[in-house]
A and B are shown apart, each in its own frame.
Chain A
Amino acid sequence: MWAFIVRRILYNIPVYLSIILLLMAGLRYARDPVRSQLSKNPTQAERDAVKQKMGLDQPFVVQYVKFLGKTLTLDFSEESWSQKGRSVGDVIKKAIPPSLSITVPTLMASASISIVIALISAYFRGRTVDRTLVVLAVLGMSISFLVYIIFGQFFGAFWPNQVTQTTPFAITGYEPWMPLLTEGASLRNWVEFCMLPVIIGVVVAIGYDTRFYRAVMVEETTKDYIVTAMAKGASKPKIIFVHMLKNAMIPIITRIMATLPFLITGSILLEMYFKIPGMGFELITAINADDFPVIQAFVAVFAGLFILSIILTDVLYALVDPRVRLS
């Protein structure tokens, strides 16, 4: 087992190194990184001075090693270009809680709701209920995420605001809500700022998740133990909701594991639309503001987390299914 884990890690190290290599080369040579830092009408000397200050005049290898070293030691002390006086690390640190307050509830709600739906679907397999649910899932998947957001915001926040003059949900924005961590924060803030995005995120995710879990369940129904249980005359609900669910836990957990990195990257679209200053929002803002250090660090962090979770998923798989270790 340990050999397998070590092998997975060793395999992923060059992968990570190449991501950083491609990223850094792309950001440096495919476009001019420093123009946004210059005055209205810069001279070449000023341009060079800025490059020098930012360390961009050093040989690429040196920059690469330096950045890699900093990333691996989680040293993000470089200053953001568009948010002066803030380190990149601070930007990342501040962006994580908002992302988590959207993604964690979304993930939990959508997973549990869609597992229930999938079980119901499997219970009524081939009957009208099942077919209707499948069709609904396909219909739901055929609408753009953006459209859900636009109309979700309109009918969930804008319309009530205009008509009833009450504000159940904020139209956009974010306030810290975790009590104890920040002064004046309260759970009401969560309801006001995060609830609507979470609802929209869940509605969108249900279509995809239901299809996946249903397929898992349907495959499970063909397994011998179910057939045996049926033959022995166990009640159908009990088979479906107890035995099957237990056995389907493995694919369910691996799927949830696979979505873990999204907890950190956040939903870029939801964050952009509702102006929730999470990781996705900060990344796109940085792209629009040409904030070189932030873009670089964010992608490096995203990729690192992604790889970690891939390794974790692999290991989990291997634990469950020893055959995997051989390949």
Chain B
Amino acid sequence: MIGRIMRSRGMKKFTRNRLAVVASFVIGIYMLIALAVAFGAISLEECRERVLPGRAYGFLQEPNQEERFNELNWYISQHLESTLGSPSGFASDPDSASRRERAALAERGIPEDLSDSQVQEIWAALSASFAELDDAWLDREDLRYEIADINLMISESEDADEQADLADELEDLAAEGETYDREVNALVEQVEAGLLELMPIPTGFAGLKYGFRTFLGSDESGRSVAMRAFYSIKIAFQVGLVAALMSVSIGTILGGLAGFFGSWVDHAVMWLVSVLSSVPYLVLLAVLVYVVRGNALFSEWFDNPQERPGLALVPVYAAFGLTFWIGTCRVVRGEVMKIKELEYVQAATAIGFGRIRILLKHVIPNTTHIMFINFSLIFIGAIKSEVILSFLGLGVQGQPSWGVMISLGREDVQNFFFWTVLSATALMFGLVLAFNIVSDALQDAFDPKHV
């Protein structure tokens, strides 16, 4: 079947479409990534790991002074203090090895060639300089308060002399503020340097991996946005493939039977099609997932992303499988009705071949191109619907997916923190675009009249 389509005229036409070939390559790359993820290149665990402070920027966005300070504050007074403990007793701590291990963030850890006492020394210096920075920062905050107060006084005061005095004072304070700023900046840099000494950014292969994990920044609990976006490729393929395989096979079988046998079979199938297509598709999806998820019997079995991550998506699959086959079924039925009247089929009937055999051997294979086209259309539909279902809170749960990222990240957009939404969108865009181009080309090549 596949071989036949590969040798067909349509396929030649398809391969002549250069854009479509490029798009096929792109899909291939995505598929390789999905396979790599499926074989453990990115584990669910790694998607949950902390790699950075919460809401760290990705590339193209530079933190300002306060954000840098907040970041350092997190590193020193929350992360290192809770993992390394107080600087004074570190070297004598019997637990020091495991403490060092816990201080590591992804690939970025305390170098092994530093002895415990060296670590203690650096850690002590670091925490001392951070204490200094902290003081400077608080002073700077106080100064801001003072300036705001004076501004308020100026606006409330009606006496020109007093206003002038206050303006003078304001000028002094502003100058003082600049000195403070310089001091804070210097200290920020000093602490950042100290932090780098204690926890250098890794180099080599580990550095590459660390770079990958951090280049898109982190979400609010410090998880790597990049890891989650790439892990989602696997989920997208899972959802797309299962939905497309299920729908295409159900659609072809039912459509084939209906078109070929006609009479009551046709009526029964078309009745089912009518029933399902009489409910708006998004409404059908929402109600299906609602019913399936709330069902104790079903959920016992599938809802276990830890041990059976694939099965956790069953409600989503079920909803897609039940809705998407309709289109395929209609087209296949029409095509089969046409093929049935062709001479070679009539001839096969005349020879006395079994009806089932004719259907399977002579009719269905001639609808392969429809199956291909529908496969890629449903694939796109499934990926896009997953996003919508996840937004409605009915989609993927317990693991990252583009839909989950987009719907969780939308609040971050309002805080000018774009990467969660953008990375998911960009990756999804690439895949969907490639599939769109391929299905267009397939349609052009095999079914030029189809609109």
Binding site for B on A (CB under 8 A): 11-12, 14-16, 18-19, 22-23, 26-27, 30-32, 138-139, 141-147, 150-151, 154, 158, 212, 215-216, 219, 261-262, 265, 268-269, 272, 280, 283-284, 287-288, 295, 298-299, 302-303, 306-307, 310
Contacts and interface: CB of A to CB of B under 8 A. Distances in A.
B294 A19 contact: no
A15 B388 contact: no
A287 B410 contact: no
B414 A154 contact: yes
Interface in B414-436: 414, 421, 425, 428-429, 432-433, 436
Contact of A272 (B392, B403, B440): B392
Interface residues of B, number: 40
Contacts of B428: 144
15 contacts: A15-B278, A18-B271, A19-B278, A26-B287, A139-B433, A144-B387, A145-B384, A145-B388, A146-B407, A150-B413, A261-B280, A269-B282, A272-B392, A283-B283, A298-B283
Contacts of A212: 451
A47 B295 CA distance: 18
Contacts of A284: 286, 392
Contact of A269 (B271, B275, B388): B388
Contacts of B451: 212, 215-216, 219
A143 B436 contact: no
B279 A303 contact: yes
Given A30-B295, A142-B436, A154-B414, A299 B278 contact: no
A144 B292 contact: no
A117 to B, nearest CB: 16
B278 A150 contact: no
A14 B436 contact: no
Nearest to B294: A31
A220 to B, nearest CB: 11
Contacts of B25: none
B406 interface: yes
Given A15-B271, A212-B451, A295-B290, 8 more contacts: A15-B275, A19-B278, A22-B275, A144-B402, A150-B413, A283-B283, A287-B287, A306-B280
Secondary structure class of chain A's binding surface, majority of residues: helix
Contacts of B421: 147, 150
B294 A30 contact: yes
Contacts of A219: 449, 451
Nearest to A18: B275
Interface in B250-287: 271, 274-275, 278-280, 282-283, 286-287
B391 interface: yes
A299 B274 contact: no
B278 A310 contact: yes
A16 B287 contact: no
B274 A142 contact: no
Contacts of A23: 287
Interface string B382-403: 0010011001110000000011
B283 A302 contact: yes
A19 B279 contact: yes
B287 to A, nearest CB: 6
Contact of B406 (A11, A147, A154, A283): A147
Contacts of A268: 282-283, 286, 392
A32 B391 CA distance: 24
A302 B279 contact: yes
Contacts of B274: 11-12, 15, 310
A32 B291 CA distance: 10
Given A150-B406, A215-B451, A144 B425 contact: yes
B196 to A, nearest CB: 35
B437 interface: yes
B391 A146 contact: yes
Given A15-B274, A142-B432, A261-B280, A30 B291 contact: yes
A147 B406 CA distance: 8
A302 B280 contact: yes
A288 to B, nearest CB: 7
B287 A299 contact: yes
Contact of B291 (A16, A27, A151, A288): A27
B287 A307 contact: no
A150 B418 CA distance: 11
Contacts of B429: 142-143
Nearest to A171: B414
Contacts of A302: 279-280, 283
Contacts of B280: 261-262, 265, 302, 306
A142 B287 contact: no
